[in-house]
């Protein structure tokens, strides 16, 4: 490297550091600046000469993370110092003891929480899940750990281009599954949206570019409409002497795609793309809530509101602290336009989340939902016996799900995850109440323990001293707290049953001159659809699973009636060698799926049923068999977040020999001959074979499902296009899941 390049890099580092100091409003004391200067100097010296995959000097990464922490999240000097040092212990010769000696225990504890696990791991466990558990253990003691980790993840996503594709897929999947929901849960809306968009960009680059281009075109076409809509509002608010700012509220590309998928509609039919945000400085002496409603009243004097689209998070803030009033009104030219009304305080909490929440939290404020959320994390972490992947699922289910608001008979509010049952609520209130629960009264009507509660329900828990906990309760509770308490009540008894089941299985295998091994256990777990070997032993011990058909299960090549093997292979032609890539230890990192019919070692995942043309990813299971998933499949996203080292990037070759099962759903106006028109279009298409058709008609509307064998998505899309030309047929969509998976 030339001397000139070296000087240029040193100048860039110095400039980045000076900008960091300028952008940190909570680091302006002499003591704060000294701490950050010291952390920077140590990190710069420790990472001296090291470069990232992109070629840039490594020190620019901790500087960028510290900048996000200071500017976009709003942490103080200790948080910024820990961000600068976050990779020092993991990647250099410095130890935690060194960090503690120089910077004190608090900074060292944060750095420790950010350092990955070391040493030898049980290979059956997920390293990613174990790392995440450690991160959360530290987080409940100091929330800055997770905030810095989110900043670290955000910068890694911003610079992901330099990583190999299989690593990009793994990191993007992990981000969507865990880190973006975590940012949302902590109220970091802008970080959450950027993480989702960046992950989506690497998982579905083609779709990302399409939606991005459509969104830019849409903004250009509708800019005049937003201006025309805003002018009367600006005039009214100015007349009322409000200090305010009106700006467009951008909708993220990922959220647009999610809505398109969920509602099965094209981009053009999403009606809330148009949105504005009103942020105002509240007048003194008048409650903020009253002023939000006053502004809403002024706006609805001009534009008619859509009654079912009013969202009042001013009276009852979201669990992550978010406060705002949302409404949708009919704007000029017949367009629905969403408005968001916030004070400047509410806006800062919406953008900076947890950090801003604590800034505004008064010392006398009652315990917030964020505090309750941290307590629920402690409940999840409280179960040391849980498997790491089970823990990850519990965490995802309980702490990232949507929430419902419930009322006690006295009118107190309880916030629970969506899907919670009456028994979940009983355990949430008190463990003993859960153990004694026999049912509940919901809105004065008697309901069973398993009744799924809805937001707004008033719930009275009914108990009996004669009631004893039952292990099968675990099948209909959803919260980690309830599951853990039920397991606690049966822990000793369960251990005995598991041991009994293990002995039974060993004896049965010994009779067949076999011994217990991972392959046999995997086959049995797959056949009976059980999540762990402990659950398998438990079911055997209880007699739920009998071993009479053991020979059949072990000789069955699939061990699962829904799994179908397709003859797929790696392309071996010399002109396609660039598509064959191998990582460390000669493990496959990329596969190309073709018509080559040499082997039968690959599986088309039944949960998402990908077909040629879909964006796909490969997963290497414990038997080193490659399973092909759609990249947007929830199972694939979970695997990427917990078993990233087994993820293989994959792509389809042109398929014209093999046929794949696809399902399309249709709906439209019922009329004579509509079914014959549909079957005529299908029969005339030489690239498609119809397996079955099912049509139902009611109230002048028909709905149908057709099972087809097709070669690829291009053939399927052509067929859908031809079907949509039939008069009376209003909707034709592909169903991507089969057999209820």
State the DSSP string of 498-553: HHHHHHHHHHHHHHTT----HHHHHHHHHHHT-SSHHHHHHHHHHTSS--TTHHHH
- The structure tokens listed for 61 are 């990464």
- Nearest 5°: the CA angle 585, 586, 588 is 120
In whole angstroms, what is the distance from residue 541 CA to residue 533 CA?
12
In whole angstroms, what is the distance from residue 274 CA to residue 36 CA?
42
**Angle between the N-to-C axes of helices 634-642 and 388-399, in degrees from 0 to 180, rounded to the nearest 10:** 120
In whole angstroms, what is the distance from residue 70 CA to residue 62 CA?
12
State the DSSP string of 40-53: HHHHHHHTTT-B-T
- The structure tokens listed for 366 are 């009652």
Q: What radius of gyration, in Å, describes the C-alpha atoms of the chain?
A: 29
SS3 call for 121: coil
Pairing of strands 403-407, 336-343: unpaired
Give CA separation, 503 vs 19, 493, 500, 509, 513, in Å.
65, 16, 5, 10, 15
Give CA separation, 684 vs 602, 611, 612, 679, 726, in Å.
32, 22, 22, 9, 14
Pairing of strands 275-281, 325-330: unpaired
Pairing of strands 445-447, 243-248: unpaired
Question: Is the distance from CB of 569 to CB of 594 less than 8 angstroms?
Answer: yes
In whole angstroms, what is the distance from residue 342 CA to residue 280 CA?
7
Question: Is the distance from CB of 448 to CB of 411 less than 8 angstroms?
Answer: no
SS3 call for 311: strand
Give CA separation, 685 vs 290, 321, 714, 717, in Å.
63, 55, 13, 12
Give CA separation, 114 vs 50, 140, 541, 664, in Å.
20, 13, 41, 47
H-assigned helices in 159-287: 165-174, 180-185, 189-203, 205-239, 253-263
DSSP classification of residue 367: P
Question: What is the set of active-site residues?
Answer: 90-91
User: Which of 563, 547, 649, 660 is closest to 610 using CA atoms?
Assistant: 660
Beta-carbon contacts of residue 562 (< 8 Å; ≥ 6 apart): 606, 738, 739, 741
Residue 178 CB coordination number (10 Å)? 23
SS3 call for 185: helix
In whole angstroms, what is the distance from residue 369 CA to residue 381 CA?
18
Extended beta strands in 291-332, E state: 311-312, 325-330
In whole angstroms, what is the distance from residue 538 CA to residue 517 CA?
17
SS3 call for 249: coil
* Torsion, Cα of 87, 89, 94, 98 (10° steps): 110
In whole angstroms, what is the distance from residue 729 CA to residue 722 CA?
11
Residue 252 φ/ψ, nearest 5 degrees: -70, 150
Beta-carbon contacts of residue 30 (< 8 Å; ≥ 6 apart): none
Residue 403 CB coordination number (10 Å)? 16
Pairing of strands 336-343, 275-281: parallel
């Amino acid at each position: 490297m030339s001397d000139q390049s070296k000087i240029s890099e040193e100048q860039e580092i110095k400039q980045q550091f000076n900008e960091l100091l300028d952008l940190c409003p909570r680091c302006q004391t002499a003591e704060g600046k000294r701490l950050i200067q010291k952390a920077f100097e140590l990190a710069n010296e420790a990472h001296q000469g090291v470069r990232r995959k992109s070629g840039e000097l490594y020190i620019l990464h901790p500087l960028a993370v510290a900048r996000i922490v200071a500017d976009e999240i709003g942490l103080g000097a200790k948080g910024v110092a820990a961000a600068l040092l976050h990779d020092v212990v993991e990647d250099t010769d410095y130890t935690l003891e060194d960090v503690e000696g120089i910077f004190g225990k608090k900074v060292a504890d944060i750095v420790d929480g950010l350092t990955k696990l070391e040493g030898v791991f049980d290979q059956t466990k997920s390293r990613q899940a174990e790392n995440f558990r450690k991160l959360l253990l530290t987080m409940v003691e100091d929330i800055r750990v997770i905030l810095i980790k989110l900043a670290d993840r955000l910068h890694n996503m911003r610079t992901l281009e330099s990583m190999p594709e299989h690593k990009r897929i793994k990191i993007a999947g992990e981000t969507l599954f865990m880190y973006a929901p975590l940012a949302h849960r902590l109220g970091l809306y802008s970080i959450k949206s950027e993480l989702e968009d960046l992950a989506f960009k690497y998982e579905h680059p083609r779709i990302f570019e399409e939606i991005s281009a459509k969104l830019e075109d849409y903004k250009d076409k509708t800019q005049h409409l937003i201006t025309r809509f805003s002018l009367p509002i600006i005039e009214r608010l100015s007349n009322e002497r409000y200090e305010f700012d009106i700006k467009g509220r951008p909708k993220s590309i990922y959220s647009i795609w999610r809505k398109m998928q969920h509602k099965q509609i094209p981009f053009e039919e999403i009606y809330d793309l148009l949105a504005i945000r009103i942020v105002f400085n509240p007048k003194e002496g008048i409650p903020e809530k009253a002023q939000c409603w006053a502004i809403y009243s002024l706006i609805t004097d001009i534009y008619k509101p859509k009654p079912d689209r009013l969202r009042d998070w001013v009276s009852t803030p979201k669990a992550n602290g978010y406060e705002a009033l949302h409404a949708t009104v009919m704007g000029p030219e017949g367009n629905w336009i969403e408005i968001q009304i916030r004070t400047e305080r509410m806006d800062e909490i919406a953008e900076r989340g947890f950090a801003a929440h604590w800034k505004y939290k008064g010392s006398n404020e009652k315990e917030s939902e964020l505090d309750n959320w941290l307590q629920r994390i402690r409940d999840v972490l409280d179960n040391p016996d849980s498997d790491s992947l089970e823990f990850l699922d519990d965490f995802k289910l309980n702490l990232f799900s949507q929430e419902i608001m419930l009322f006690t008979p006295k009118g107190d509010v309880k916030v629970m995850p969506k899907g919670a049952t009456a028994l979940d609520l009983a355990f949430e209130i008190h463990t003993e109440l859960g153990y004694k629960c026999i049912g509940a009264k919901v809105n004065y009507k008697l309901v069973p323990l398993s009744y799924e509660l809805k937001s707004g329900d008033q719930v009275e828990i009914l108990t009996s001293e004669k009631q004893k906990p039952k292990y099968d309760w675990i099948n209909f509770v959803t919260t980690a707290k309830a599951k853990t308490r039920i397991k606690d009540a049966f822990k000793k008894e369960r251990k005995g049953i598991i041991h009994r089941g293990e002995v039974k299985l060993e004896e049965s295998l010994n009779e067949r001159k076999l011994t217990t091994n991972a392959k046999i256990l995997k086959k049995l777990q797959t056949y009976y659809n059980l999540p762990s070997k402990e659950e398998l032993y438990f079911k055997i011990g209880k007699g739920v699973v009998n071993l009479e058909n053991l020979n059949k299960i072990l000789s069955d090549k699939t061990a699962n009636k829904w799994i179908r093997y397709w003859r797929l292979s790696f392309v071996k032609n010399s002109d396609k060698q660039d598509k064959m890539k191998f990582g460390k230890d000669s493990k496959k990192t990329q596969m190309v799926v073709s018509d080559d019919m040499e082997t039968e070692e690959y599986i088309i995942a039944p949960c998402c049923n990908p077909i040629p043309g879909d964006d796909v990813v490969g997963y290497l299971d414990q038997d080193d068999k490659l399973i092909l998933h759609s990249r947007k499949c929830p199972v694939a996203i979970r695997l990427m977040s917990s078993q990233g080292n087994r993820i293989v990037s994959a792509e389809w070759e042109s398929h014209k020999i093999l046929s794949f099962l696809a399902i399309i759903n249709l709906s439209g106006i019922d009329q004579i001959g509509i079914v014959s028109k549909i079957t005529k279009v299908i029969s005339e298409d030489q690239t498609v074979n119809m397996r079955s058709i099912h049509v139902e008609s009611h109230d002048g509307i028909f709905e149908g499902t057709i099972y087809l064998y097709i070669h690829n998505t291009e053939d399927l899309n052509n067929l859908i296009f031809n079907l949509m030309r039939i008069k009376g047929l209003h909707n034709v969509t592909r169903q991507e899941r089969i057999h209820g998976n």
